[in-house]
Structure 1
Amino acid sequence: MKVLGTVLAALALSVGFAAPASAAGGTPCAIREGACLQLSTNQAWLVYHGNASYGPVPVTTGRPGYETPVGTFPVLRKVRNDWSIPYNAPMPYSTYFTSDGIAFHEGSLSVPSHGCVHLSHEAAVTFYDNLLVGEQVQVVP
């Protein structure tokens, strides 16, 4: 019987039915509610009940010297029309997830940021409207 279980598990893996136990469905992240960001692919997702509910969407992240941090962070606050004082730039639809000002917000998809996660207008609005304060943002390499 143990051999049959092993064969069935191998078959499931070979046809794509099994996913890593830690991954939220359709993303490289382990969170159940919130947002997932993968730096190596410049993609982000919204995650609801452990599955990707939106995305992947293209993003730009921190330039050298201003890298977007890796880890799991809570959504801290949201500001619809914010302005970056240090960089003298608009930050529409900001969803902050670090205490030092890193946020998802509308921005250039071709120019790297100073650590924030730039999204298209549509994606920034969707992230802003759907991420709740206290939900998790997981950033993976």
Structure 2
Amino acid sequence: MFTATALALGFAAPASAAADTPCSITEGACLRLSTNEAWLVHGGSASYGPVPVTTGRPGYETPTGTFTVLRKVQDEWSVPYNGPMPYSTYFTSDGIAFHQGSLGEPSHGCVHLSNEAAVTFYDNLLIGEQVQVVA
């Protein structure tokens, strides 16, 4: 009940098992490439996740580092790859974003999330918050 209410009000659900992440940020999103997992972080602890993700295929690797949420587009379309990118939350200037996508196929650098996770990341990540991507 709390999770549904929290999500309805626009807050991230509490972490299911892990309170911590491999990242050092205190507000934003954490992504670990080696395990294909992502979290939302609030107040220095995981507030949602881990959730499964897929990331960049060889030649289109998702970059590591600490980035800033730049913009969000709910109904985005990728012109270079001619495909939908629902619930896009961009965190690099060259077009890398969290968005709804296949969890079975790697991306062209973006971070694919399930529909539920993409909506949660889109609703809870604020422009200006940090995204940390670790190996």
TM-score range, shorter chain: 0.7 to 0.9
2:22 to 16, 23, 28: 28
1:86 to 80, 101, 110: 80
After superposing on structure 2, the runs of 4+ consecutive aligned residues of structure 1 that deviate more than 2 Å are none
* Pairing 1:35-74 to 2, within 5 Å after superposition: 35-74=29-68
1:9 match: none
1:100 match: 94
Post-superposition Cα deviations, 1:44-82, rounded to whole Å, max 9, x if no partner, equal 000000000000000000000000000000000000000
Deviation at 1:26, TM superposition (A): 1.2
Report the TM-score when normalising by structure 2. 0.86
Q: Give the percent of matched residue pairs that are identical in Structure 1 and Structure 2.
A: 81
Post-superposition Cα deviations, 1:95-133, rounded to whole Å, max 9, x if no partner, equal 000000000000000000000000000000000000000
- Within the alignment, does 1:129 sit opposite 2:129 as a pair? no
**How far apart are the structure 2 equivalents of 1:29 and 1:69?**
15
Structure 2 unmatched runs, 5+: 1-18
- Within the alignment, does 1:120 sit opposite 2:114 as a pair? yes
**How far apart are the structure 2 equivalents of 1:49 and 1:39?**
23
Structure 1 unmatched runs, 5+: 1-24
Q: What one-letter code is carried by the residue in structure 2 that aligns with 1:38?
A: R
Report the TM-score when normalising by structure 1. 0.82
Which entry has the higher C-alpha Rg, 1 or 2? 1
Deviation at 1:31, TM superposition (A): 0.1
**How far apart are the structure 2 equivalents of 1:114 and 1:53?**
27
